[in-house]
Structure 1
Amino acid sequence: MRPSAVSVFVAVVFTAGLGATAAAIRIDGLVIDVALAVLVVLAVLTWWQGSIGLTTNSVSLSFSSIVLVASMALVGPAGAGIVGILVGPLQRGKQPWRARLFNTGMFALLGVFGAVVYRAAGGVVGGAGLPGPWEIVRAVGFPILVADVVQALANLLLIAAVVRLAQGVPVRTQIWRMLVTSGPNQLGYGVIAFILVVLWEPVGLGPAGVVLVLPPLLVARWAFAQYSEEVKGHERALGVLVGAVESKAPHLTGHSARVAQLSVHMAESLGLRPAVVADIRAAGMLHDLGLTTLPTATVRRESIGAGASLRDYPQRGARLVQEVSFLAGSVDAVAHHREALGSGAEGAALGLAALVVGLADEYDLLTEVGTPDGRVLTHDEAMAILRARSPRDHDLLPALEQALVRRANVGGA
């Protein structure tokens, strides 16, 4: 991590957000009316409700984006900037001060920028005086869609840039990950904001329109919370299984977590879909599960990759998880990760997930757990061995190098 670069970038974004809001107020003036007051209240409610996240694939549900998009169409650039300044730092839980400053500047920028784009696309602030549905679509719906998309892209670029500086994640990788996980959500937020704006002014309900929009949002939040709890239950199950492996083989304590982390970083560097990355992560966590079916003395006496008695443990592990529905995508990698280091046709015939987990597993065995003769190798020594063993026609070693750099950056954060 480069703290100075991150701090400078955060300061630039924060200053730009406040500056853009001040400029919008100077140009347009700030009208403190019912619409702005309600949006401010909604911004506070987004803090009270909090966001619900799925840590395994970075998906989250938050109302703050709905409030921000609606503000672009209801109160213009100055009001949207004010709403953004309020939404940014209002995050529940402990957050680093730099994160709060960054979010404050980013949301203010997005609010002002999005409102300017909304106007440029022909949007009518408030949507007042529109005579019919086609006029509403032309003067509110289409501009909100354009502003929502442009705002989302700006959001992606800003977050990808700060993550690149903080963790070394390639900008393209971060943007793709967020597009797949959060892109559909952002479009949905735009649709809900459009409904809120239409109910507010063209329909004439004013603040009462919020009352009609909030109940389905709260129901959706409740449903997402239930799914989030299910995912957390899956995580707890993975933790129990990993604990069983480490109880059987104490010398592998921490090995599964490190392999899972490296595997995820490699998979993301390769541009794999989030669902595939999640399967690879689970496979990294459980790749040694088959050891639990073998005698304890055998597991502790023989080294992985050297002992003949341990040869079939990957298939044993795959059989243990093959009937578990949320682990279905991980079975192949669990079963074949030890074959991934073959050269030529043997390695090339395996699935990419098995190759990723196998390479991460072998690197960690060489550099953290130790070789069969008890030596722990340096990075350069391990990479030299892997270059001689790794399968052909797979660009995995550069992905491993990138994953190691990213892990070092995250570890130093």
Structure 2
Amino acid sequence: MHDIRAIRENPAAFDAALARRGDAPMSAELLALDEARRAKILAAESAQAEQNKASKAIGAAKAKGDEAEFERLRAEVAAKKDEVAAMQAEAKELDLKLTDMLARIANLPADDVPEGADENDNVEVNRWGTPRTFDFAAKEHYEIAAVAPSMDFETAAKLSGARFVVLKGALARIHRALAQFMLDTHVDENGLTETQTPVLVRDEAMYGTDKLPKFGDDSYQTTNGWWLIPTSEVTLTYSVAGDILEAAQLPIRMTAHTQCFRSEAGSAGKDTAGMLRQHQFEKVEMVSITHPDESDAEQKRMLRCAEGLLEKLGIPYRTVVLCTGDMGFGARRTYDIEAWLPGQNTYREISSVSTTGAFQARRMNARFRPEGGGKPEFVHTLNGSGLAVGRCLIAVLENGQQEDGSVTLPDVLHPYLGGKSTLDASGNLI
């Protein structure tokens, strides 16, 4: 959510920032609506003052026994009361319209975000690991002999339709092991607090984390009104909605492993093979609630937490900073981590780490009290995948595949698999 006061103070800067995203200028329309709203509020306040003045005069007229004046003033008060109510209703309608407009405008990019139109203009900032050279043609995850028996798309389609998968046996265990490994690392090494949250939330939680009103079509809503979370960013971030935190409480660092649900309404025809893009998937999420002065450093910290997981797993990756045309709606800066997938012979996104500044905090009224007192200020909120479990499974399988159809598994997963280290060509852990 944008601050209308900041737009009033520098409309040209607001429009220039929108232009960097490729969006049309909005300040003139916003300020015209804001001016009409404020004028209506002022008119209502003036009419209220006249109503109060006439109300006081009624008593004086009654004391004097001036019946005619008493009736005139009583009629005037009744008329003013109706006038005030009408003006207040108009002011509220204008306020709601302004709020809705502000809620549909994307966050402004940080000054250091590179300008560009789409993913081709993203800028690589880091690369780790050397992609393995194969003596055979590397296969995509669902084509590997060890994987095929336990990655069941036919049963999933029978149950739920396209873009679902049933994992069985050893593959389901490896998937679970990955999530446990991520959580343990975040808790034991990265200092995050493990949190279990609901996957059903109210409108307010989706709105406060900028998923509504603009992206309702990309999420699932139950018949009785709850929303299925697209990621636990929603629940972790909204957990501080309406709070006034003490500065000493910051930063608050949380992690959660949850099911996530996305309709992929804008992704028709993309990645239809395999389990790269699913309607239901699991993710380990990271969320930080920070002091504004610390949010940029916190984003770098969160990025390293996610990168470190891939390094422990031995998966080559590259990190890019998204350009203005490729950033998500609520982000002011986003880093994507892309894991190397030899079956596709390319890097694919496995994590996004974003800072929203005060964009979400203003929507959900999450504030902190500065040290030494003073007026409460909005916190900054950050979120990042640490990591997408299904995509991480894909990367582990494709990078560990062997010519005989087996898969060698990363050392860090062995303790979670009872000491077993290989998925043999028949799909068994050995």
Report TM bin, short chain. Answer: under 0.3
The structure in which a higher percent of residues are strand is 2
TM-score calculated relative to the size of structure 1: 0.28
TM-score calculated relative to the size of structure 2: 0.27
The structure in which a higher percent of residues are helix is 1
Q: More relative contact order in 1 or in 2 (CA 8 Å, sep 6+)?
A: 2
